[in-house]
Copies of this chain bind each other. A is one copy, B any other.
Amino acid sequence: MLAGDEPVRFEVVAEDPASGARAGLLHTPHGIIETPVFMPVGTRGTVKTLSQQDLSELGAGIVLGNAYHLYLRPGTEIIAGHGGLHEFMSWPGAILTDSGGYQVFSLSGLTKIEEEGVRFQSHLDGSRHMFSPELVMEIEHQLGADIIMTFDECTPYPCELEYARQSMDRTLRWAARCHSSHESLVRGEGQRKQTLFGIVQGGVFPDLRRRCCEELTAMEFDGYALGGLGVGEPREQMLDMTRHSLPHLPPDRARYLMGVGLPHDLVESVEIGVDMFDCVIPTRNARNGTLFTPEGRLRIKNARFADDKGPLVEGCTCRACRFYHRSYIRHLFQANEFLGYHLATWHNVHFYLDLMRRMRRSIIDGRFGEWRDDFLGRYRGP
């Protein structure tokens, strides 16, 4: 480590005495992020339908980018030429880049996993590429996000114990190579501007999860993520794996549950002790016309909203609810108009960010349990 240089520092500011829930501050070179936090997903350098000005107005402090997507298009060099992803997309807040491990396996064709890394074909043009832990660290350094993720194999679901074990062991070896490569890149750059999080795999097997946590912890990452969840396993199993993993991670580091989930998933995961989330659900559902409310989901395309003069959610302070009627937003969806997708996304992202703010407040005020019961009592999933 370069002395005195700690680009991202996590600080716990309040803990719920009755659960694992905690409120924290994630200090980054691009702002202090209040946790628990939801990070809107901007895979290709844009959170779909929202401008960076919109994200600021919504109070998003950190967004996600994806190394796999940005490496393929526009290409890492173009982004590096701007000085990094912050400058390329004109985003003053913090950024976390996912390594693309998940995307290499889920999107690309003819994937071949070797010890060295993964050979794959671009989902855009079929061109052939190879991602190794070292190359992914180089890409993520060029992108310049505040938080970067190790290159892992996202174990699919369902998956046999034996494959999950082999895959997790490889992910651990890759994590060690990422760690070493990251440190070497930091030394070459002469300054530490980015921080590296390790990713826990292990499928739905508690023993594998525990071992993965322990071995990653021994490598001393600056934060830890749970990967390979929210990939099709039952919801209870996802929560169980989270419960089994967190006790084996250092409590003074941020814990990030990748790709999860629905509002009640976030509440129950915060209760377990998760600090950070990302998920495409609020943005993707918005574009399908599925809006989140404190009572559950609302399908705005439903005919019963054709003449509904109320806001999406009574009392909601988001731009969509303050200015527009349900009937108008439904009309926009019926007509496939951009503004419908935009307003729905605005509402859902606001709903998620507001949910996190309320949870954080309740933890700090020592009434998380009460808040949680109230929320889950009203919210009808999925």
Task: Indicate whether A342 reaches chain B with its CB closer than 8 angstroms.
Answer: yes
Copies in the complex: 2
Residues A339 and B49 in contact, CB atoms below 8 Å apart: yes
Q: Is A232 an interface residue (CB 8 A)?
A: no
Whether A1 sits at the interface, judged by CB under 8 Å, is no
Docked Cα-Cα span, A342 to B53, in Å, equals 12
- Does any Cβ of B come within 8 Å of A331's Cβ? yes
A89 to B343, CA, bound (A): 13
Q: Are B82 and A331 in contact (CB under 8 A)?
A: no
**A residues 186-204 with Cβ under 8 Å of B?**
none
CB contact under 8 A between A90 and B307, given known A73-B334, A339-B51, A341-B338: no
How distant is A320 from chain B, measured CB to nearest CB, in Å? 9
One of B327, B342, B343 near A78 (C-beta < 8 A): B327
Counting CB contacts under 8 A, is A117 at the interface? no
Count residues on chain A whose CB falls below 8 Å from chain B CBs: 37
Which chain B residue shows the least CB distance to A47?
Answer: B339
Chain B residue nearest to A341 in the complex (CB): B338
A228–B352 Cα distance when bound, in Å, is 50
Within 33-59 of A, Cβ neighbours of B (below 8 Å) are at 44-46, 48-53
Asked whether any CB of chain B lies closer than 8 Å to the CB of A332, the reply is yes
Closest to A89 in B: B328
B325, A45: Cβ atoms closer than 8 Å: no
Residues of chain B with a CB closer than 8 A to A49's CB = 338-339, 342
Residues of B with C-beta under 8 A to A307: 78, 81
Cβ contact within 8 Å between B53 and A334? no
- 8 Å CB contacts to B: which residues of A302-330? 306-307, 309, 319, 323-325, 327-328, 330
**B323→A52 contact, CB < 8 A:** yes
Query: Contact partner of A331 among B73, B323, B332, B334, CB < 8 A?
Result: B73
A2: CB under 8 A from chain B? no
Task: Given A342-B51, A343-B51, verify A73-B325 contact (CB < 8 Å).
Answer: no
User: How far does the Cβ of A341 sit from chain B's closest Cβ, in whole Å?
Assistant: 7
A338, A341, A342 — most chain B CB neighbours (10 Å): A338
CA distance A343 to B307 in the complex (A): 31
Q: Mark A59-97, 1 if CB is under 8 A from B, else 0.
A: 000000000000001100010011000001110000000
Contact flags (1/0) for A99-119 with B, using CB distance below 8 Å?
000000000000000000000
State whether B88 touches A328 (Cβ < 8 A): yes
Select from chain B the residue with minimum beta-carbon distance to A70.
B331
B53 in contact with A90 (CB, 8 Å): no
**Would B323 and A45 count as touching, CB distance under 8 A?**
no
Is residue A218 within 8 Å, beta carbon to beta carbon, of the partner chain? no
Please tell me if the beta carbons of B53 and A339 are within 8 angstroms of each other in the complex. Answer: no
A338 touches B338 (CB 8 A): yes
Report A85 CB to chain B, min CB distance, Å.
10
Check if B323 sits within 8 Å of A53, measured CB to CB: yes
Q: Pick the residue among B82, B90, B325, B337 that contacts A82 (CB under 8 A).
A: B325
A3 within 8 A of B: no
Which residues of A117-157 are within 8 A (CB) of B? Answer: none
Check B51 against A90 for contact (C-beta < 8 Å): no
Q: For the complex, is A18 an interface residue (Cβ under 8 Å from B)? A: no
The 5 closest A-B pairs by CB, nearest first: A74-B331, A49-B338, A46-B339, A44-B335, A90-B323
Query: 7 A-B pairs, CB-CB below 8 angstroms?
Result: A44-B331, A44-B337, A46-B337, A49-B339, A73-B334, A82-B325, A90-B324
Q: Told that A48-B338, A90-B324 touch, could you supply 18 new A-B pairs with CB distance under 8 A?
A: A44-B331, A45-B331, A45-B332, A46-B335, A48-B337, A49-B338, A49-B339, A51-B319, A52-B323, A73-B335, A74-B306, A74-B330, A74-B331, A78-B306, A81-B307, A81-B309, A88-B327, A90-B328
